[in-house]
Amino acid sequence: MKQKTLFPVICILTSAFGLCTSSLFSQGTWTQKANDGGDAVNSLCNISLSITTTNSSCGKKSGSASVVATNGIAPYTYQWTSGDVTFLADSLSAGLYMVLVTDASGCTDAKAALVSDAGAPAITVTSTTNVSCNGDKSGAINLSVAGGSAPYTYFWNNGATTQNISNLYAGPFEVQITDASGCKAMQGVLVSQPDAIILADSIVNASCGNLDGAAAILVSGGTSPYSYLWSTGATTKMISNLAAGSYSVTVMDSKGCTKYGMGSILNWGAATAAIDSIIPATCGSGTGSIYISVTGGTAPYTYAWTNGATTEDIVGVVPGMYGLTIYSNGNPCTGALSTSIPAQQPSSPAICIVTVDTATGKNICVFTKDSIANLGIKQYNFYRETTQAGVFQKLGSRSASLPSAWTDQSANPLQRAWRYRIAAEDTCGNESPLSVYHKTVHLAANIGLGSKAVNLSWDNYEGFSISTYYIWRYTSAAGWMLLDSVPSNLNAYTDTPPTLINLFYFIEVRNPLGCAISLNKIPQPMKSNLNSSRSNIYKLNDTSSSAVAEMNIASSIQVYPNPSKGMFTIKMEDGRGKRVEGKIEVFNIMGGKVYSAIINSPASIITLDVPTGIYFLRAQTEEGMVSKKIVIQQ
């Protein structure tokens, strides 16, 4: 967290409690709630990236994007989500592409490139409503669209499918607009937010028994101008003629965002209170405590807390700010103290693995529930990194009573890799710090010039240590098979497949500890062990971005209902519509055979007792072999 100081302020930030106490004078105190600044930024890394794009022809792969890196240490290395590894990515269709640039010192930066189709609809951002208060959800984007061929379809990076979007957190947003001809236009819009309001004080302590103390408040962040309301009823930036004691102020900016603070004025030579310890209050209970020690002045002391307590320490109180006035026996000088009891934050949950779900083609985030830490947890909140490096936006939540897996419905695994973080939220609305992030693996491929070799490249899985990448390949003849494995310091592989037709690849990494989530399965619940993370499934020479290995001639076999809970009717015919007999085999996404039978009736029923997911049904007849994708769902 960067804090701009307008005058000398002593600020002690204790991350355990999230409190910031500042004062110009050691005898006066001022307390306010402070926000966790998040991840630290390496100040020695200052790479700056500039992107230039060239449009593609509609439906073609003729676009390009280039990046220029400055302020780093040459030479630079480049990794595009398209698979390109130079400053230039070419042969691009319309879409969003990310580039990661690393300089010679290991500093990195990433940026998005938006490639549109020539002749696609023209997008105009008619208005952008920025977030009013730091951290809230009040942003909006309005567009106007013209040209191309109506009607248009819209897809935003947050999953919205409308022309205009609202209720937005701050951050970058991207939209893809497709017209009736299939031409695509891309547009990025940044929704900003003001800095969090931060209060700093200037205290003039009072002389014993007199009304000559003063307090002034300086505000940064938010949106000026500011209004003030003190506990004395004053509405000015500075108040004076004050006796020793605790004073609070509420600051409101022009957008209606507020910040509350409390400070203390004491007398020179009065009793001085030092905080021994502060115990946060747990959710839904008054379990907070403040323990102090008092020195100076004249004992015995009399205590007056702002919550009405008259003891030296206060125990069993709720979160909030508390002021204390200390009176000495026979001494006109008064001491004072202000501090805060925070709410106890839930413990940070841990992501176990993120992977591309074979049943849906979506990213799935599997996390770990601690039976003790889960007590009092209402839900888990999921955050995904935007196209702005290090900026995570909240996407969704999942009840703590549900299985510990969440599916991201808006991310496209075929487009890029994605980073995720998770937080736990208790029934009082307190949120834990964000977890360590995990990132999926993104696979890209191309055919070598003048050859039948296929060049594969992928980025790293992030979240746990791995030693090996496993490379899987699908062909119609062999199905899915483990092609090879390479050490984790390699991110490229060249394959010479038997055919370039109906060819698929994916990359797998394995978590040595594994993950377990509870899934519903008829007739009994089961445990699904997720021991590995899989990349997107890359189909070579695919213009539709399909990630399903299914043969085009599958019209000769009918499978219904599909999807189903496990029971399918199989009907096979030849090219003339006559019934044929043959052998049926079913394989899982890893190439393992899970079912085999002979079909010799007009409509045969098969029952598969297997976990939910995508499977491939292969039929072998006298006329040849056909295959079809089938889906088992709950």
Mean pLDDT, residues 115-142: 96
**Rounded CA gap, 361 and 409, in Å?**
9
Q: Which two tokens stand for residue 38?
A: 């998040």
| pLDDT tens string 153-212 | 999 999 999 999 999 999 999 999 999 999 999 999 999 999 999 999 899 999 998 999
| pLDDT tens string 66-115 | 999 999 999 999 999 998 889 999 999 999 999 999 999 999 999 999 99
Phi, psi of 554 (to 5 degrees): -70, 0
pLDDT beyond 50 at 63: yes
Cα 342 → chain centroid: 25
Classified by CATH at the fold level, domain 553-632 comes out as Immunoglobulin-like (2.60.40)
pLDDT, residue 332, reads 86
| pLDDT tens string 468-501 | 999 999 888 888 889 999 999 999 999 999 888 8
pLDDT, residue 549, reads 37
Domain extents for the chain?
10-35+196-341, 48-107, 122-191, 345-549, 553-632
| pLDDT tens string 485-544 | 999 999 999 999 988 888 999 999 998 887 866 443 333 333 344 678 999 999 886 433
Lowest average pLDDT, out of 110-114, 357-361, 425-429, goes to 357-361
pLDDT, residue 53, reads 96
Classified by CATH at the fold level, domain 122-191 comes out as Immunoglobulin-like (2.60.40)
* DSSP structure class, residue 284: T
| pLDDT tens string 597-634 | 887 777 788 888 888 888 888 777 655 566 677 888 87
| pLDDT tens string 133-142 | 999 999 999 9
**Rounded CA gap, 396 and 363, in Å?**
13
Cβ-contact 31, 21 below 8 angstroms: yes
Is there a shared CATH topology between the 345-549 domain and the 553-632 domain?
A: yes
The domain 345-549 is placed in CATH, from the list 2.40.30.160, 2.60.40.10, 2.120.10.80, 2.40.30.10, at: 2.60.40.10
pLDDT, residue 570, reads 86
pLDDT, residue 621, reads 67
Give CA angle at 85 (81, 90), nearest 5°: 70
- Distant-in-sequence, close-in-space partners of 73: CB < 8 Å, separation ≥ 6: 103, 104, 105, 107
Cβ-contact 217, 251 below 8 angstroms: yes
Q: Which two tokens stand for residue 315?
A: 């125990």
| Strand positions, DSSP E, 253-370 | 258-265, 272-279, 288-295, 301-305, 314-317, 320-328, 331-341, 350-356, 363-368
| pLDDT tens string 262-292 | 999 999 889 999 999 999 998 878 899 999 9
Mean pLDDT, residues 437-466: 90
Tell me the Cα Rg of the chain: 31
pLDDT, residue 628, reads 77
pLDDT, residue 517, reads 64
pLDDT beyond 60 at 14: no
**Rounded CA gap, 472 and 445, in Å?**
13
Residue among 278, 377, 322 at smallest CA distance from 18: 278
pLDDT, residue 579, reads 62
Q: What is the mean pLDDT of the chain?
A: 84
| pLDDT tens string 20-59 | 333 322 223 333 333 333 444 445 788 999 999 999 999 8
pLDDT, residue 423, reads 96
Mean pLDDT, residues 222-246: 96
- Considering the chain, what percentage of its residues have pLDDT values greater than 70? 84
Q: Confidence class of residue 577 from pLDDT cuts 50, 70 and 90?
A: low
Residue type, 305: W
